[in-house]
Amino acid sequence: MTISGFDGVLAAAQEGSEWAWDILVRDVGPRLVGFFRTRGVADPEALAGDVFADLARKLTGFAGDESGFRSWVFVIAYRRMSDEWRRQKRRPRETPDDLTTNSLQVAPSAETVALEAIGNVEAIRMLRVLTTDQRDVIALRVVAELTLDETAQVVGKPVGAVKALQRRGLAALRREIERQGVSR
């Protein structure tokens, strides 16, 4: 979506246009579900639906460009995910071991291709070696394809801290791949 195209789509969606809302959902939906899957959310589609319900209620109040919109979406998603985890801690339930792959595809980055080479389920298991902050940053940068600035806004950290978390997270993943003897 181009910036001028985004502005028109956003304005139409804010006025209640169904076709414009569909474009916004199709654009961010796969990244949102992928982010939730990567972070181990039990029902990523349901949580994405909750995020879209929030977006629908708050859309008329949004002002900004396409990058700002993506950041805004993932700030809401990040908060929803945190709320969900707090709820689960209060009333724990078992999570499925059989994590499935993302059925909604986005254009792959080099990191995504590398993760897919070892398999999505294995990649999610490998992400467990990372700290929570590292997992958040890697998932937002690789799966959600957010920029450094957008990721920093979502996690509420300076860009320098996001860079460091990404660098350390990728280094930890490389070590884990070497430890497990996974070939490229």
What DSSP string runs through 106-151?
-PPPHHHHHHHHT-HHHHHHHGGGS-HHHHHHHIIIIIS---HHHH
Average pLDDT over residues 1-30: 88
pLDDT at 88: 75
46 neighbors 101 (Cβ within 8 angstroms): no
Question: Tell me: the pLDDT tens digits for 34-53?
Answer: 999 888 888 999 999 999 99
Unique residue bearing structure tokens 């430890």: 179
Q: Give 72's pLDDT tier (boundaries 50, 70, 90).
A: very high
The span from the CA of 162 to the CA of 89, in Å, is 27
The domain spans of the chain are 3-180
pLDDT at 69: 95
Chain mean pLDDT for the chain: 83
Question: Tell me: the pLDDT tens digits for 74-130?
Answer: 999 999 998 888 887 776 555 444 444 444 444 455 555 555 544 556 667 778 889
pLDDT at 79: 93
The CB density around residue 87, as the number of other CB atoms within 10 Å, is 10
Start-to-end Cα distance in the chain: 33
Q: What percent of the chain has pLDDT over 70?
A: 78
